[in-house]
Amino acid sequence: MGSRVVIKGGTVVDGTGTPGRQADVAIEGDRIVEVGPNLSGDEVIDATGCVVAPGFIDIHTHYDAQVFWDPALTPSCYHGVTTVVMGNCGFSFAPIKQADIETFVHTMEKVEDMDPQSLLEGVPWDFETFGDYLDSVNRRGALLNYAAYIGHTPLRLYVMGEDSIGREATPDEVDQMVAIVKDAMDAGACGVATSFAPTHRAADGRPIPSRWAESEEIYRLFKAVADTGRGVIGINGGDNLPFPQCYDMQLRVGIPFTFTALLTFPNGAHLKAAEINREGWKRGAEVWPQVSCRPLSFSMTMQEPFTLNINPVFGELMSQSVAERKDAYADGAWRERVLAAWSDQKFLPPQWTSFEIMESTAHPELVGQRIQALADAASKHPLDYLLDLTLEEAEPKDLRVKNILANGDPEGIAILLQEEHTTLGLSDAGAHVGQLCDAPLSTDLLGNWVRERKVLSMETAIRKLSGLQADIFNFTDRGYLKAGYHADVVVFDPNTVAPGPVRRVRDFPAGAERLTADQPTGMQYVFVNGRAIQRDGVLVESALEDLPGQMVSPTPW
């Protein structure tokens, strides 16, 4: 393209939430230079009938490893995303010592469904500190802009070694972690991320390192970020810092928090959580719960049943062999222990009506049928039916089921999307790659929830995808279509935009498989820093050869 590119004749929705307007957008170099009528340029893109919007900012991804072997960050690049935030849930890939790589890799296998051999082969592991990690990514480059949290779990592992699981940190160890956080912020980190989620268990089935932190350690790490005058805290909630207490902690720390995640549940807990959020904001606490427009639906084999591992009795099996897992599945007393754990209000039972058989070697005739209906017909509890079916397979991995863990209620989703102080998140792009693919969150929002359901206006949806995200992280000169801002721009047809199909491919290092969604409809152009990276669903070869993505860091508040 020429030196001045004009996107002409579209409806500009600029990220502020104000009504869209007919205008042209002029780009020179990596910046937007003018937004207005009757602009001319060396190259003109006809956007008649299209929306022209700021590139979308996905604040909850796990591309920390994939960026090394897939700098295009597929499939996010197909869905209008121009900036990603990595390191969520406390799982950055640095700091790390060479001796701890194996431990960390197998933790990522259990927690984020990342294939360990892919990580060992695909990540260069030429870094130790967080700054080293960023340097390694920067040398290789990316198609999209990227920001990264420093994660609580590798931080603890780096300082405490094997003791990072099993005990509180000493004051000296906390001091060391604080110093590392400050160094990471100096190197460009966007904040600290942590997780206390009950689903997050290490390779041996015990809680991950961050789940062993007590309140003083948590506060001091958060405060270390705040002391730099910039940054955000990312929290995946749990017992160490329950959702209501996040608002008290934020008022102490003073910088924005984003919380993963506010999702719908059959017991209506999301309505109470939304009220807690409203009350917290009235007190002045800036906590942004992440909400998603997609059901949190997992495809999993019964060899690694991620959603069932929330139950601590299932969690005990995570470090055991396949034979030991099968023995447990067959044990009536073990099954009773599972049911007893679910009867505790702390561990919600599965939504059995959502369980569907996806693959079965022993019973292919059952594919597509629901576990609850089959169990009812057999006069069994759904757990017993599922485990009995698993035992009829040669291996537990031969039975694959899908189920909804949360966010299965469209009316509840609509309520959460319309909450003033929530933000879009939890695409989890780059993680759980064999179990789900929610990278199409943006195109799903625009096609399903804006056009079809009319839950949000186009202007509100785009604000939640762009300007609001930039404001939360204080990514200056991004998130808006304004003169002087970075030219991260998306052009799409509002009448056809949709997420497209999800398909299973085998294209990761070591031949590992994943789910991807690389065929959305309606996405006509995506620009990153003034460079077209996608045209009509096809990545631009020149952009892949000279990657335009930049590291993005929050500026001081």
- Contact status, residue 547 vs residue 143, Cβ threshold 8 Å: yes
Q: Map out the domains of the chain with their CATH numbers.
A: 53-295+407-544 (3.20.20.140), 298-405 (no CATH)
**Mind listing the pLDDT tens digit for each residue in 442-487?**
999 999 999 999 999 999 999 999 999 999 999 999 999 999 999 9
Residues 229-233 have a mean pLDDT of: 98
Q: 409 pLDDT exceeds 90?
A: yes
Residues 298-326 have a mean pLDDT of: 93
| Residues of the chain above pLDDT 90, percent | 96
- Contact status, residue 462 vs residue 54, Cβ threshold 8 Å: yes
Residue 31: strand pairing partners:
28, 486
Q: 265 pLDDT exceeds 60?
A: yes
β-strand pairing of 512-516 with 423-424:
unpaired
Please give the Cα distance from 242 to 247 (Å, whole number).
10
- pLDDT band for 2, please (50, 70, 90 cuts): low
Global pTM reads 0.96
- Determine the pLDDT at residue 204: 87
Residues 390-413 have a mean pLDDT of: 97
- Contact status, residue 210 vs residue 194, Cβ threshold 8 Å: yes
Residues 58-64 have a mean pLDDT of: 98
H/E stretch holding 407 = none
In 240-321, alpha helices (H):
243-253, 269-282, 312-315
Burial of 345 (0-12, 13-18, 19+ CB in 10 A): exposed
Residues 157-177 have a mean pLDDT of: 98
Average model confidence (pLDDT) for the chain? 97
Q: 1 pLDDT exceeds 60?
A: no
Please give the Cα distance from 500 to 136 (Å, whole number).
33
Q: 404 pLDDT exceeds 90?
A: yes
Q: 345 pLDDT exceeds 70?
A: no
Q: 346 pLDDT exceeds 80?
A: no
- Contact status, residue 352 vs residue 387, Cβ threshold 8 Å: no
**Mind listing the pLDDT tens digit for each residue in 92-107?**
999 999 999 999 999 9
- pLDDT band for 236, please (50, 70, 90 cuts): very high
Q: 311 pLDDT exceeds 70?
A: yes
Residues 162-168 have a mean pLDDT of: 97
Residues 30-50 have a mean pLDDT of: 97
- Determine the pLDDT at residue 118: 98
Q: 68 pLDDT exceeds 90?
A: yes
- Determine the pLDDT at residue 348: 79
Please give the Cα distance from 211 to 315 (Å, whole number).
15
Phi and psi at residue 338, in whole multiples of 5°? -60, -50
**Mind listing the pLDDT tens digit for each residue in 498-534?**
999 999 999 999 999 999 999 999 999 999 999 999 9
- pLDDT band for 228, please (50, 70, 90 cuts): very high
How far is CA 428 from each of CA 13, 58, 301, rounded to the nearest angstrom? 26, 9, 19
- pLDDT band for 199, please (50, 70, 90 cuts): confident
- Determine the pLDDT at residue 242: 95
| Residues of the chain above pLDDT 70, percent | 99
Q: 85 pLDDT exceeds 90?
A: yes
